[in-house]
Structure 1
Amino acid sequence: MVNQIYKLSKQLGELLQLRQLQLTTAESCTGGQLAETITMIPGSSGWFERGFVTYSNLSKQQMLGVHDNTLNIYGPVSEQTAREMAQGALTHSAADISVAVTGIAGPGGEAGKPQGTVWFAWARKGFDIQTHLKTFNGDRLFIREQAVEFALQELIKLLLNH
């Protein structure tokens, strides 16, 4: 899977360079793994603006502007939180496009949100925010890897379609 993720990161970088766009990430359950993967690509500083690792609710609020009410009503693993993370990453950076990842990598889960539940959001200046819910299987490491791969795949699709 690591080789596939590297290839996706490279393809993403080529698309961002071609379109002269800057990317930012807002990560919770992936703990910075998405940003790490992206920055493995030589020259990524030309298209990767910054990454936010917002593991705690407080960091989501302070760094990305996620509203307290959103976290209290919907929880940190929700479409609403993912949306606010993606928008907040754009607002608090010089990037043109963002991806947000928030989920339950495990172990455990909660009612209605089992281990492997991950919300994604992609925001791009001038476009509507897109969201997607995925449920991945496997252990903590595998869930995180699958989330990174999916986030990259969808970023590429977004760039190819806009």
Structure 2
Amino acid sequence: QHNRNKLLWRDQTVDGMKTGHTESAGYCLVASALRDNMRLISVLLGASSEQSRTESSQRLLEYGFRTFETHKLYKAGDALSEVRVWQGDKTEVAGGVMDDLYVSMRKGRYDQLKGVVQFDRSIDAPIRRGDVLGKIVFSDDGQILKQTNLLALEDVSEGGWWRRIVDSVQKLFAE
């Protein structure tokens, strides 16, 4: 059976995905395209014909590539914040990301991007590399674009008995 996704022949950046047609849903197409290291996926439902499905999907992808851009925010292992650790053999742990972190947003808005690190609890040892310490929220003009976990980039063992006593007292006054 030949491939009904005509975008595969019209646009060399298109590499998939799925066509479909039923009386109730009309002609449908989920298309994937990769340009300049940015992948977009378009979903079109309810087109009146195969030609309309192809042309509308092409317009959706063109709009996306014309209007949005992807930025690499951090690379795997980047430390973003030092986080206070209670009752550990260290008083701080580096928090960051384990994988490269990207955000897609409207072109020309990158300078407006704001990143905030949020913690909803105190961090007590022991901590293992990869444990969730909090989250990082990226927004543009109040709209959240990306949210991911802030992860421990190193282990922190439980501190000695004296460190645990001192931190227990300090923590009472810190909260």
TM-score, structure 1 length as denominator?
0.31
User: Which has a greater percent of helix?
Assistant: 1
Structure ID, larger Rg: 2
TM-score, structure 2 length as denominator?
0.29
User: Which has a greater percent of strand?
Assistant: 2
